[in-house]
Amino acid sequence: MRHGTTRRLLVAFGAVALIAGACSGGTSGSGKSVTVIGTWGGDEQKNFLAMVAPWEQSTGNKVKYTGTRDINTVLTTGVASGVLPDLAGLPGPGQMAEFSKAGALKPLDAVLDVATYKAETAPALVALGTVNGKLSGVFIKAAVKGLIWYNPALHDYSASPPKTWDELKTQAVANKGNAAAIWCLRLGSGAASGWPGTDWIEDLVLRQAGPDVYNSWWAGKTKWTSPEIKTAFQTYLTDVVANIKDPTEAVDPTKDFSGGGDPLFANPPGCEVFHQASFITGLGAFKGKKAGTDYNFFPFPDVNTQFSGAVEGAGDLFGMFHDTPEAQSLMKYLVTAPAQDIWVKAGGALSANKNAKSYPDDISKRSADLLTSAKSFVFDASDLMPKAMNDAFWTAMLKVTKDPSSLDSVLADLDKTQTTAYAS
């Protein structure tokens, strides 16, 4: 009896082995499809699929979309093993350059109508997608960082928005009303917890020390302990963190940044002003509110007027790993104004394409104008840093926000990471 069981088990094992073999032999049939991997889920995924629907209709091809929050892992292992989607969202310009140098990313110069693309897109974004003179990635979606959101019911800043940091500080104190605190702040974001804090430091560095220091900083050439960077941290700690309701809540892992602005709408308000990127309107309590009447924003004020007009932004890069005719056709379609119009009409997204104009409300239109008309445009510094540096920056923000007295040791640790992170 026992022997029989063992034998049957063996047969079962063999069967499993052979099923695996048989499955891999299946062919995908004749319908042409393009595999796409991106970080979008939920509403964003729905909007993306709506965006590609006209292309599917006109060409008869199909888009097979998979959404993952772990795109970095998927693509890093994919580049090593060669199993890659046709098109994919890229984690950031740094990784894009690595994938491009490894030969995995196909250049887009021959695929897109480059002249039109360059004419329609902000030069800074074109430059960020270019590696060694070859266009390797395009911004399919963009965001403006460092907008200051408020609830007009408490105080309407739209008549005279603060022009300088000092003005903002005095106006915020004067108009605090019955709000529990001046600033709203939440840094939780799952595995990326801390990033909303990095945006703060970036906005301050950009406006205190200017784009040159900003660029040398993310490139690893300015030390974290240098006066320019340390000042930004100190401003953040004394002007912002000292004026929030509760630092413990701000860094708590159970609190997600997407709900960071919710206290704006509470009664009495939990806080008065909220620093977050343009995409916050698609998240948290913003989603159910009316743009303009329930919430509004003013741009991050100047700190040093010498650097007036500098804007920080971010975006989702898209690249091509297989240059099949279908993938090329889809890529070409995605950056066009009609395709981008579908994206922006749904709200929450800005287009890198200047000719995409179907913004659903005045707020999105104003933030899109900031993006396309910026005197100097810089990309999110932490996204440009090597992954190890970026990760240490995120963790550092949690540490200093919780315990401002740790600033010196945190900056020294970041310097240590800087010496190793840029090596490879």
Partner 1 sequence: MDERLGTALAVVIGVPGVLVGYIYLTELVLRFAPDRRRSAIRPWLWLLPALLFLFAFLIFPTILTILRSFQGAVAGAWVGLENYSWFFGSPDALISLRNSLMWVVFLTLFTVGLGLLIAVLVDRVRYESIAKSVIFVPLAISMTAAAVIWRFMFDYQSAGSAQTGTLNGILSAFGLGPISFLQVETLGLNTIFLVIVMAWMWTGFAMVILSAALKGISTELLEAARVDGATEWKVFRFIVFPLLLPTIAVVSTTIVITALKAFDIVYVMTNGNFGTQVIASQMIKESFIFGNFGHGSALAVILLLAIIPVMGVNISRFRAQEALR
The binding site for partner 1 (CB under 8 A) comprises: 7, 10-11, 13-15, 17-23, 25-29, 31, 72-73, 76-77, 190-194, 245-246, 248-249, 251-255, 270, 387-388, 391, 395, 398, 402, 421, 424
Which CB sits closer to partner 1, 306 or 424?
424
Least distance (Å) between residue 305 CB and partner 1: 36
Secondary structure tally for the chain: helices H, strands E: 17, 12
Which CB sits closer to partner 1, 353 or 382?
382
Which CB sits closer to partner 1, 299 or 386?
386
Could you give the angle at the alpha carbon of 312 between the alpha carbons of 217 and 219, nearest 5°? 20
Q: What is the CA radius of gyration of the chain?
A: 24
Least distance (Å) between residue 171 CB and partner 1: 25
Nearest CA to 261 out of 278, 248, 276, 246 is that of: 276
Q: How far apart are CA 272 and CA 244, in angstroms?
A: 10
Least distance (Å) between residue 254 CB and partner 1: 5
With the C-alpha atoms ordered 377, 369, 260, 183, is the resulting torsion angle positive or negative? Answer: positive
Q: How far apart are CA 232 and CA 224, in angstroms?
A: 10
Least distance (Å) between residue 116 CB and partner 1: 36
Least distance (Å) between residue 423 CB and partner 1: 8
Which CB sits closer to partner 1, 27 or 132?
27
Least distance (Å) between residue 221 CB and partner 1: 20
Which CB sits closer to partner 1, 195 or 321?
195
Which CB sits closer to partner 1, 42 or 190?
190
Residue indicated by tokens 């998979």: 66
Burial status of residue 19 (CB atoms within 10 A of its CB: 0-12, 13-18, 19 or more) = exposed
φ, ψ at 253 (rounded to 5°): -65, -20
Which CB sits closer to partner 1, 39 or 231?
39
Q: How far apart are CA 242 and CA 237, in angstroms?
A: 6
Least distance (Å) between residue 197 CB and partner 1: 12
Residue 421 CB: number of other CB atoms within 10 A?
Answer: 19
